[in-house]
Amino acid sequence: MAVVAVSSTTVANYNALPRVQNPRGLADGEVVRAINDQVSVTSGDSIASVYRFGKIRSSDYTDRIKLISADIGTTTAGDLGLYNLLTDTTGGTVVDADYFATAVSLSGGAIDSDVTFEAGAAGGIYTNGNKRVWEALGLSADPGKEYDVALTLTAAADAAGTVRLQLYVVR
């Protein structure tokens, strides 16, 4: 066993000579924005139904994501991901349906779950925590656009209920 001293990227940048500027959003004094809204799920909503909560920018860093819901039936589940805006030339097409979380169960009991690093890829993998949305998407440059954060049903809703999203980003 060895005693080690390890610095994060931001600390290493602060201590570098000459000092290296940290990317905006990873250190001191940046702006935190939130999506804190809810959608209604109706019994009979089918697989692939899409519920849009709000927008984030491609240049944002994801900080914390929480899904809150009463028990919605016995089968209801969904992915949490990114879509192009409805006003986009693509007409609101999917970018990455499970960018944040994959097949989160909204049935079998009420949930109040932190799903920040639930997905095994893209925005849901903790090693991408220091990447902007566009970087976690694997893009070669920031497209400078906004995306809708949306829940897409992966199993049909067999009851009605409300799903609340609390998502915090840093820019």
Each residue's pLDDT tens digit, 17-57: 888 877 666 666 567 888 999 999 999 999 999 999 999 99
pLDDT for 27: 63
CA distance 69 to 75: 14
Nearest to 77 by CA among 44, 40, 102, 110: 102
Q: Do the Cβ atoms of 76 and 152 come closer than 8 Å?
A: no
Q: What pLDDT does residue 151 have?
A: 94
**The architecture CATH gives domain 31-170:** Sandwich (2.60)
Where in the chain is CATH 2.60.120?
A: 31-170
Q: What percent of the chain has pLDDT over 70?
A: 88
pLDDT (0 to 100) of residue 90: 87
Residue bearing the bigger pLDDT, 60 or 29: 60
**pLDDT tens readout for residues 91-130:** 899 999 999 999 999 998 888 988 887 876 676 677 777 8
> What is the C-alpha separation between 90 and 7, in angstroms, rounded?
42
Residue 101 confidence (pLDDT): 92
